[in-house]
Structure 1
């Protein structure tokens, strides 16, 4: 099973705020936040599941970058 987005929440400026990604090795929760003027994402979940979720997180960022 390839990783898939289970839920995606946007902020009032239509930037990703939270996401839940389901992988074959577990569920990964992602939260985007602003740190010193830069948008960063933080994850929770197992390390192997996080590794599988990275391409999906990058895809979310690419798709929402030009909005």
Structure 2
């Protein structure tokens, strides 16, 4: 059985649908850019933490050697 809305198709409805789809596409692209930025920031923070951990380990080893 065909849906009644499909029988009453009109170009304005199609334009509204295309406009809504374009808006969703733009929002998704914006979210993708923010996600990419967040991932980059997290990677930088992880690298910094790794450096701090290595420095801490080195300092602890130096302290232990002094004892």
Q: Fold match, TM over 0.5?
A: no
Q: Which has the higher strand share?
A: 1
TM-score of the aligned structures, taking structure 2 as reference length: 0.26
Q: Which has the higher helix share?
A: 2
Of structures 1 and 2, the one with the larger relative CO (CA 8 A, separation 6+) is 1
